[in-house]
Structure 1
Amino acid sequence: MGKIEKIFITHTHGDHIFGLLPLMASLLNGAGGTADGAEDPRAQADQTQTPLEIYGPLGTRAYVRNGLLCTHTLLSSPFVVHELRFPSDPEGDLTSLPLNQMELPAGRNIPQIDGVWPDIYRDTTVSVSAAPILHSVPCVGFVVTEAPIPGKMDPKKYIPDIKRTKTPMTVMSRLQQGETIELSDGTILRGPERRAGRKLVILGDTYDPSPIASLAADPDLLIHEATNAHLPDVDSNTKESDTFETVEERSRSRGHSTPQVAGAFATRIGARRLVLNHFSARYPGDDDTNEESKKVMDAIKALATTTFEGDIVCARDLMSIDIPHS
């Protein structure tokens, strides 16, 4: 937990944001204050500390300020809230509360550019962009793109010239980074071209993520919700009147997707791997050692295979997935 530097919120439904305040309290050494507003002496913002950065749609900043105020929570490390603003959003922060005592005033209201939010965060390792996806409330999906990485290197290609010119072998690390090296006799060695980094697409709740399609193209991994599924041979609660079509229509009317919808979008954007998540509470699925859970998750996965031919994984809490470089 202590390694968390940035938090990205897809939308402000409770099951996606209620956990933010306790997480902040844990990360930023929070403690209970007093009803009369007397401050804990340690709660003095250190502007030299790197703040925890929170990104989310309109309402994220108001939720954080109100929650911290009403719970009398005092923090001892700074944070900042950036909001992704839709064109239809009103001005302001949806709250008249002033900055929290540990909230830095540098929070940005980030406007869309051509319908998306490009590079809301970028460093030398990754960039994060976002785009709207369709749900019952304003919702976004995030695209995390790794910076280009060193190309595959064949040492045999370089060692003879390096040894012949008695050049220190340390130049190999520079060549690995793609640099061009001139040896003492004028020989030019060029490192391998850098390769594209990995790309992850992480969606919030959605019945149609089409607005993010161009930004999300060709990812190594897509995480897509599959809240509802028609499982007549597996789910004893299935209604006799239900069909694949009626379940999909009911799911769509509530802002959600089926495994087939998720698979179709994965195919559309050329994803290499699909992780399904956000399953309805009616489906047991968080214990891969339980036969009933496994049966349900296998059935959900099977539905997704009807629209997507790549690798499919049904997520469970605290699952860790390795994403190799292509």
Structure 2
Amino acid sequence: MQITFLGTSSGVPTRSRNVSSIALQLPQRAETWLFDCGEGTQHQILRSDIRISQISRIFITHMHGDHIYGLMGLLSSIGLAGNPTRIDVYGPPKLDDYLRACGRYSQTHFSYPVKVHTVEPGVVFEDAEYVVSCEALTHRVPAFGYRVSEKDRPGRFNVEQAEALGIPSGPLYGRLKRGEVVTLPDGRQINGADLCGEVQIGRKFVYCTDTIYCDSAVELARDADVLVHEATFAHQDAELAYQRLHSTSTMAAQVALNAGVQQLIMTHFSPRYAPGNAIALEDLLTEARAIFPNTLMAQDFYTHEIPRRRPAALTASRRPPSPSRR
């Protein structure tokens, strides 16, 4: 599981940063899930290692243009890139109306099914491996943060030990792999948990933008491995953040600290902090790390691998290396 930042600017693109979009790659499924799709996202995809043909789900946080203006173009291109079975798009009310209006006035017709799901707080998608949930954030329009939780996996089943105990192969192995207690034909009871290694703890990825600091963001991010949170403004510009309902670097860090996450990655930066200005983006990183040391600052095309946590290391904390441009 890894995330690639396709756009890290807020409001408008700059020469070095496009507007909001993040790709979550699931290599074991040959799938990519996209979070937000600002203008130019498909061009960013072409400059990355993301395969447009593997995009299967798109999650939109809210209806502001810097998060959705690239969606219609991308959906159109996906149809030309291959023959997808279906694309599921999740987002706030009016998203379906928006896409229908775009299609109607541009005379665009998809060659494959596009299913739009209107989200509300709670679970929005679940299968055998993942649960995706959302919570309402605090912004000028209805906005949602998303949490992707990978389900825990049983540890490796020790076939050699099972054979040494004289357990016949077949359906019993499947039950033991699931950790069940089984009774053998000779009357012995075997606990499957004793024959399995450590449980593989599922990874948790949370994406929160646009929002000012709010309790729902903290609850959504609880114990996440990686929290991606907007940090539009520096702490000195907190008044602007309150006026526009965006977060400062210190608000993002406070969410991470209160939620007990492992890693914070800030994104969605105002262009006002360009090189040469009184406040630079490095200052936002310094502000955040003063509150939450395990903080990184995203840049376009930065890819971050979300590692599995070992059970013994669930509460470990370490300072991560700074990202470098790929």
TM-score (ref. length: structure 2): 0.68
Unaligned runs of 5+ in 2: 1-51, 310-326
Letter in 1 for 2:114: F
Give the Cα–Cα distance (whole angstroms) in 1 for the partners of residues 261 and 152 of structure 2: 19
Identity %: 33
- The equivalent position to 1:78 in structure 2, one of 113, 116, 119, is 113
What aligned pairs does 1:1-326 form with structure 2 within 5 A after superposition? 1-29=52-80, 50-84=85-119, 112=120, 117-151=121-155, 153=156, 155=158, 159-160=160-161, 162-163=163-164, 165=166, 167=168, 175-180=176-181, 186=188, 188-191=190-193, 192=196, 194-229=199-234, 244=236, 247-284=237-274, 296-309=280-293, 311-326=294-309
Cα-to-partner distance string for 1:177-214 (whole Å, 9 max, x where unaligned): 53555566535141347454111111121112322433
Higher helix share: 2
Task: For residue 27 of structure 1, report the CA deviation from its aligned partner.
Answer: 1.2
Distance in 1 between residues matched to 2:216 and 2:180, nearest whole Å:
39
Counterpart Cα distance in 2 of 1:256 and 1:277: 12
What RMSD over aligned residues (CA atoms) do the two structures have, in Å? 3.1
What's the CA shift for 1:282? Answer: 2.9
Q: Distance in 1 between matches of 2:157 and 2:125?
A: 34
Deviations 1:255-314 (A, max 9, x none): 2111111000111111111010001123349xxxxxx89x944432211012213x2111
CA deviation after TM superposition for structure 1 residue 216, in Å: 3.0
Tell me how far apart the structure 2 counterparts of residues 284 and 15 of structure 1 sit (CA, whole Å).
19
> Tell me, what secondary structure is at the counterpart of 2:305?
coil
Q: Which whole-Å deviations, capped at 9, do the CAs of 1:123-149 have from their partners, x for residues lacking one?
A: 111111111111122111111111121
Residue-by-residue CA offset, 1:59-112 (whole Å, 9 max, x unaligned) = 21111011112112122111111123xxxxxxxxxxxxxxxxxxxxxxxxxxx5
Name the amino acid aligned to 2:241.
S
Question: Could you tell me which amino acid in structure 2 is paired with residue 201 of structure 1?
Answer: V
Amino acid of the residue matched to residue 222 of structure 1?
A: L
One-letter code aligned to 2:53? G
Q: Distance in 1 between matches of 2:100 and 2:167?
A: 63
Residues 199 and 221, structure 1, Cα contact 8 Å, conserved in 2: yes
Give the superposition deviation at 1:319: 2.0
Worse overlay, 17-26 or 50-59:
50-59
By relative contact order (CA 8 Å, sep 6+), the higher-ranking structure is 2
Rounded Cα–Cα distance in structure 1 between residues aligned with 2:224 and 2:274: 29
Q: 1:166 to 1:123 in 2, by over 3 A?
A: closer
Contact 2:254 2:292 in 1 (8 A): yes
Cα distance change on mapping 1:161 and 1:120 into 2, 3 Å: closer
2:204 and 2:243 mapped to 1: Cα distance?
30
Q: Is the 8 A contact 1:220 1:273 kept in 2?
A: yes
1:280 partner letter: S
Distance in 1 of aligned mates of 2:157 and 2:111: 50
Change (3 A) 1:164 1:122: closer
| TM-score of the two chains, using structure 1 as the length reference | 0.68
